[in-house]
Amino acid sequence: MILGRTSNLIRLALLFGSGISISAGMPPVDRITEKILTGIGVTHGTDEAYHLDESLNSSSWALDEYVSRVLKFLSILKAEIDLYYQRHQDLHTANYEDLYYVASQIHDSEVGEYDNPAVQPFIDKILPAIQPLLEGKEGEIREKLQLHEIAGEATDYIRDITWHLINKEPTKIDHLNSLKEICSDGQVSGVDIFTLNHDTVLERYLSKNGILLSDGFGKAVNGVRYWDPTLFESGPPKVRLFKLHGSINWFRLRPHGGGWSDESIGIPLEYDFWHTTNPAGEMQLPVDGRPMFLAGTFNKMLQYTSSIYADLFYQFYRSLCQTDRLIVCGYGFRDKGINMQIKEWIYSSSDKRIIVIHPDPNRLKNGARGAISNHWNNLLRDQKLVAVSKGIEQTAWQDIKSLI
């Protein structure tokens, strides 16, 4: 039995990861990591954010003091992370998500955000190498830095460069045509699309193909669409989009002179997110000067219980409860929080089934975290997991529908 089925009607949940955006010209993890570790074209602005000019190269650009310190700090972290994986006989090398995770642990421990006694020995080990970065040089704008400050600068730097690298027009979107087929099928009564991507490739594709959807943001008021999770329940679109890790066009907005209680989350429709007005006509500013999205690895789970992410993660749980079929594409099963939700769902009933779209399912299994990889073969044997050995470009809805 398929939950959500009335006669021949089917309700589906889809889970997408960054793999679906590669064909659209979005940079893969290794390219983002390379740009972050080289810092070429990156400058620190008066707005306290990091900016990227990709027209600059190593001969036409010079490190400023902020970027220089952050790069040295990240190189120290990377050496330790790589050493960790080598000792565990793992071929994994540190990417920008790993670097963000470790830097955020240092920052949160130093400011008392999270008690983590295990972090202190690590800090003690690397502190001699980091100390010169904290002292700075004579004549620099910031001669002295605290450890939590350089760790915080590192996390801001990683988020800002990631944002600028994926904040661009996709070069191609027709590789997602199977999604249009799913949403247009009269036998499909509802489609819940969950994505871990920060880019806007999915929104652009759905909009271009005239597919109405609810994304939790209302109609524009003074050029800004505001977050209202009750819209997910009010319909009528049968297609709903949930960006579990946030988006490069979501901003925390606060009117001049306002406090925490006056904040809202919105999508400015114009590029200038620094100058918008709230529904009352008051000028408002982006609180952080950067968009709302999650970076890192295991630290993401801590944020699944707060702010907008709590609403979204609840919707993920609720949607899975209402269907027996989950279609997964472009996701490497590396997010522990997401994996545990899938694992609990798949074993909650004999009717549950995951349909995985990937050109090399065995490679996907080997790269997945234990909650999925350790159960993969048993799930295949019991037909609770079915793999479509194709990329999304070569996969048609009929290929998937026959497995529903």
Sequence-ordered strand ranges (E) for 183-248: 188-195, 224-226, 239-243
Domain topology for 10-25+172-217+225-247+296-401: Rossmann fold (3.40.50)
Contacts of 361 by beta carbon, 8 Å cutoff, 6+ apart: 387, 389
Please report, for residues 34, 271, 292, the alpha-carbon distance to residue 250 in angstroms, rounded to integers and kept in the order given. Answer: 26, 12, 5
Q: Alpha carbon 378 to chain centroid distance?
A: 29
In the block, residue with structure tokens 């899975």: 320
Which residue, among 301, 298, 203, has the nearest Cα to 249 in the 3D structure?
A: 203
Q: Are 181 and 397 in contact (CB under 8 A)?
A: yes
For 194, the 3-state DSSP assignment is strand
For the chain, state the CA radius of gyration.
22
Q: Let me know how long the chain is.
A: 404
Predicted local confidence at residue 237, as pLDDT: 87
Please report, for residues 220, 221, 230, 267, the alpha-carbon distance to residue 224 in angstroms, rounded to integers and kept in the order given. Answer: 5, 5, 18, 5
Predicted local confidence at residue 1, as pLDDT: 43
Predicted local confidence at residue 138, as pLDDT: 65
For 242, the 3-state DSSP assignment is strand
Please report, for residues 3, 16, 191, 284, the alpha-carbon distance to residue 229 in angstroms, rounded to integers and kept in the order given. Answer: 23, 21, 17, 22
Four-CA torsion 98, 102, 104, 107, nearest 10 degrees? -160
Neighbours of 25 (CB within 10 A): 15
Task: Please report the DSSP string for 110-143 in residue order.
Answer: HHTSS--TTHHHHHHHHHHHHHHHHH--TT-S--
- Parse the chain into domains and list their residue ranges: 10-25+172-217+225-247+296-401, 29-166
Q: What angle do CA 180, 183, 188 make, to 5 degrees?
A: 145
Contacts of 160 by beta carbon, 8 Å cutoff, 6+ apart: 49, 50, 51, 52, 290
Q: Are 355 and 388 in contact (CB under 8 A)?
A: yes
| Pairwise CA distance, residues 325 & 345, whole Å | 10
Task: Please report the DSSP string for 258-313 in residue order.
Answer: --GGG-EEEEESSS-TTSEE-TTS-EEEESSSS--B--SSTTHHHHTTSHHHHHHH
pLDDT in 10s for each residue of the chain, 404 residues: 444 544 578 999 999 999 999 999 999 999 999 999 999 999 999 889 999 988 877 666 677 889 999 999 999 999 999 999 999 888 888 999 999 999 999 999 999 998 889 999 999 999 999 999 998 666 666 668 899 999 999 999 999 999 999 999 999 999 999 999 999 999 999 999 999 999 999 999 999 999 999 999 999 999 999 999 999 998 778 999 999 999 999 999 999 888 989 999 999 999 899 999 999 999 999 999 999 999 999 999 999 999 999 999 999 999 999 999 999 999 999 999 999 999 999 999 999 999 999 999 999 999 999 999 999 999 999 999 999 999 999 999 999 999 98
In the block, residue with structure tokens 């050493």: 83
Burial letters for 192-203: b for 16+ Cβ neighbours within 10 Å, e otherwise? bbbbbbbbbbbb
